């Protein structure tokens, strides 16, 4: 599926919000954004509505759209939801795993381990999780998990940006090994532990 200009604007602005380049309370001015992306206001409005739908922005009548504040209390809820939903998705993924899926998971793991900066690592970490869960074939479940990843990422950047170091993720490697063995119980348990560590 070809990305539209609205997709491009949404992805760029969401990355800036997640990484903290656009701080909480920052006004998202339609005219400035339209100029930057050399487009009309229509795709900008569409992108802003998507930011609102994903909890990254809010609009006020006659005052425009702003970046939402980060709520520290939210992280516990986000992690609990990620544990429940990602383990559910992985359980269903194991039932449908192919050799192609396990190869893709291993490639995603290696790419994540090779990241040299936090922004790349976060994007590739998200991609790893998406790759191991995608075989479940449940688009609504995956869309809900994608939203939770965005919320998680904002907290990661806000709290661990200065402590991040490149490293190989042993949990990711263990999950891929469980996928190769088709050991759903072990894979789901490692994922559950892995997600709870974020706290």
> Percent of the chain at pLDDT above 90?
78
User: What whole-number distance in Å separates Cα of residue 188 and Cα of residue 192?
Assistant: 6
183 and 143 in a single domain? The answer is yes
Final residue in a domain of this structure, among 37, 67, 97 = 67
pTM value?
0.84
Final residue in a domain of this structure, among 33, 67, 101 = 67
Q: How confident is residue 1, by pLDDT bands cut at 50, 70 and 90? A: low
pLDDT of 10 above 80: yes
pLDDT of 13 above 90: yes
- Measured CA to CA in angstroms, residue 175 lies from 67, 74, 166, 189 at distances of 35, 27, 19, 9
pLDDT of 18 above 60: yes
Query: Quick one: 172 exposed, middle or buried, by C-beta within 10 A (0-12, 13-18, 19+)?
Result: buried
* Per-residue pLDDT, 73: 82
103 and 50 in a single domain? The answer is no
Closest alpha carbon to 133 in 167, 174, 168, 104: 104
User: What whole-number distance in Å separates Cα of residue 56 and Cα of residue 43?
Assistant: 17
User: What whole-number distance in Å separates Cα of residue 102 and Cα of residue 89?
Assistant: 15
Domain membership of residue 153 as a residue range: 74-197
142 and 44 in a single domain? The answer is no
As a whole number, mean pLDDT of residues 63-89 equals: 92
Q: Going along 10-122, which residue ranges are E strands?
A: 27-28, 57-60, 64-67
Flag the least confident range among 99-103, 157-161, 191-195. Answer: 157-161
* Per-residue pLDDT, 176: 98
* CATH number of 145's domain: 1.20.120.530
Look at the chain and report how many structural domains it folds into. 2
189 and 107 in a single domain? The answer is yes
Angle between helices 118-133 and 170-181 (to 10 degrees): 20
pLDDT, tens digit, 9 for 90 and up, residues 105-153: 999 999 999 999 998 999 999 999 999 999 999 999 999 999 899 889 9
* Per-residue pLDDT, 155: 87
* Per-residue pLDDT, 163: 81
pLDDT of 199 above 70: no
Tokens found for residue 39: 């487009």
61 and 96 in a single domain? The answer is no
Final residue in a domain of this structure, among 67, 84, 101 = 67
User: What whole-number distance in Å separates Cα of residue 93 and Cα of residue 101?
Assistant: 9
125 and 192 in a single domain? The answer is yes
- C-beta neighbour count of 89 within 10 angstroms: 25
* CATH number of 42's domain: 1.10.10.10
154 and 172 in a single domain? The answer is yes
């Amino acid at each position: 599926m070809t990305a539209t200009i609205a997709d491009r604007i949404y992805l760029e602005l969401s990355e800036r919000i997640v990484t903290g380049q656009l701080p909480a309370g920052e006004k998202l001015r339609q005219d400035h954004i339209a100029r930057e992306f050399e487009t009309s206001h229509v795709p900008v409005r569409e992108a802003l509505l998507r930011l609102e739908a994903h909890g990254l922005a809010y609009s006020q009548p006659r005052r425009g759209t702003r970046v939402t504040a980060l709520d520290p209390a939210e992280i516990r809820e986000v992690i609990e939801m990620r544990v429940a939903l990602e383990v559910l998705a992985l359980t269903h993924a194991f039932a449908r795993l192919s050799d192609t899926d396990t190869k893709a998971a291993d490639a995603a793991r290696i790419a994540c381990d090779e990241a040299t900066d936090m922004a790349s690592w976060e994007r590739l970490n998200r991609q790893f999780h998406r790759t191991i869960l995608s075989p479940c074939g449940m688009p609504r479940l995956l869309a809900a998990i994608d939203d939770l990843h965005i919320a998680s990422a904002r907290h990661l950047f806000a709290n661990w940006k200065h402590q991040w170091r490149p490293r190989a993720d042993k949990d990711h490697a263990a999950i891929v090994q469980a996928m190769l063995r088709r050991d759903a119980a072990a894979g789901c348990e490692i994922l559950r532990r892995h997600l709870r560590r974020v706290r």
